[in-house]
Amino acid sequence: MATVYALSTLHPRLANALSSVLWCSAKRSAARFFSFAQTEAASEIDLRYAAMLTTSPDRRALYLQHALEEARHTRLFARSANELRRANGHPSLGTPLAHPEALYERLGERKFLAFVYRGEARGRKQFEGYRRYFARHNNKRFVALFDTVLKDERRHEHYCYSLLVHLSGSKREARRTLRSVALWEAWQRWRRLARSMAHPLYTVSMFALFLTIAPFAVLIRITQPEKSGWTHAPPPPRPTND
């Protein structure tokens, strides 16, 4: 899983701590699997773009192979989600909609690889935690699902790091690129949080402003009551004779 779109990927430690909540019901489990499918679908498209834009035939082949495996993960997760829902009397969620972010074009190839590597490492740790959760609950079906995905995730993580070191020229420069991408990701998360909070904050601030102004409006109406009924307009001024 190369990317971390929306909230489909939690920090691995947080994900492991919340496993009993995330998988506590068939409906929640289906929603979680479907969010994985959406992430994989978006990742597939970004990798296909990378394959189109890279100048290296060897890297193009690796990106295309990675994209094909992400597409397979999409199908596996979406099928699990929809089967869980149908088994519990809920309609299927359908086909996942991808929301790619044009990461290769925005970041360039080296930072794109750093981003993919970070996402693969994070996803691999998260999936390992989920696999352990299902193993403890003797759910062989989902253990097998995560085993299948993890086999690919580990290979993706390895090849992305190898390519990153190759393009960077050294492991030291690769680490510098990884730090730069980590800061970029943090900034993107902050922007998403700010956008999601904009409307609630506006609503709260307007309500607070109303509560602040309302007493003054009431006081003005009490101290300066409006006159009701008909009022006589003052007569027009008489013309003066010069």
Instruction: Quote the pLDDT of residue 189.
Output: 76
Instruction: Quote the pLDDT of residue 194.
Output: 72
Over residues 4-32, the pLDDT tens digits come to 333 345 556 666 667 777 888 999 999 99
CB atoms within 10 A of CB 94: 10
Over residues 178-212, the pLDDT tens digits come to 999 999 898 777 766 676 665 665 566 666 666 67
Instruction: Quote the pLDDT of residue 4.
Output: 38
Q: Which residues contact 156 (CB under 8 A, 6 or more apart)?
A: 2, 66, 69, 116, 120
CA distance 191 to 197: 10
DSSP string, 37-66: HHHHHHHHHHHHHHHHH-S-HHHHHHHHHH
**CATH code, 12-197:** 1.20.1260.10
Over residues 82-107, the pLDDT tens digits come to 999 999 999 999 999 887 788 999 99
CA distance 162 to 132: 28
| Comparison of pLDDT for 4 and 72, the residue scoring more | 72
Q: Taking all residues of the chain, what is their mean pLDDT, rounded to a whole number? A: 85
Instruction: Quote the pLDDT of residue 206.
Output: 66
Instruction: Quote the pLDDT of residue 5.
Output: 38
All structural domains of the chain with their residue ranges: 12-197
Mean pLDDT score, 100-120: 93
Q: Where are the alpha helices (DSSP H) in the chain?
A: 12-17, 19-22, 26-53, 57-87, 103-107, 109-136, 140-168, 171-223
Written as six digits, the tokens of 89 are: 């009397």
Integer angstrom CA distances of residue 26 from 29, 84, 88, 140, 242:
5, 6, 7, 16, 96
Q: Which residues contact 64 (CB under 8 A, 6 or more apart)?
A: 47, 48, 51
Instruction: Quote the pLDDT of residue 231.
Output: 61
Instruction: Quote the pLDDT of residue 64.
Output: 98
**φ, ψ at 115 (rounded to 5°):** -65, -45
pLDDT exceeds 80 at position 150: yes
Instruction: Quote the pLDDT of residue 20.
Output: 74
pTM (2 d.p.): 0.74
Using the 8-state DSSP alphabet, how is residue 236 labeled? P
Instruction: Quote the pLDDT of residue 192.
Output: 66
CA distance 6 to 35: 9
Mean pLDDT score, 32-58: 95
pLDDT exceeds 70 at position 57: yes
Instruction: Quote the pLDDT of residue 149.
Output: 97
Contact 115, 3 (CB under 8 A): yes
Instruction: Quote the pLDDT of residue 201.
Output: 58
Burial of 132 (0-12, 13-18, 19+ CB in 10 A): middle
Q: Tell me what percent of the residues of the chain surpass a pLDDT of 90.
A: 62
Instruction: Quote the pLDDT of residue 2.
Output: 44
pLDDT exceeds 80 at position 154: yes
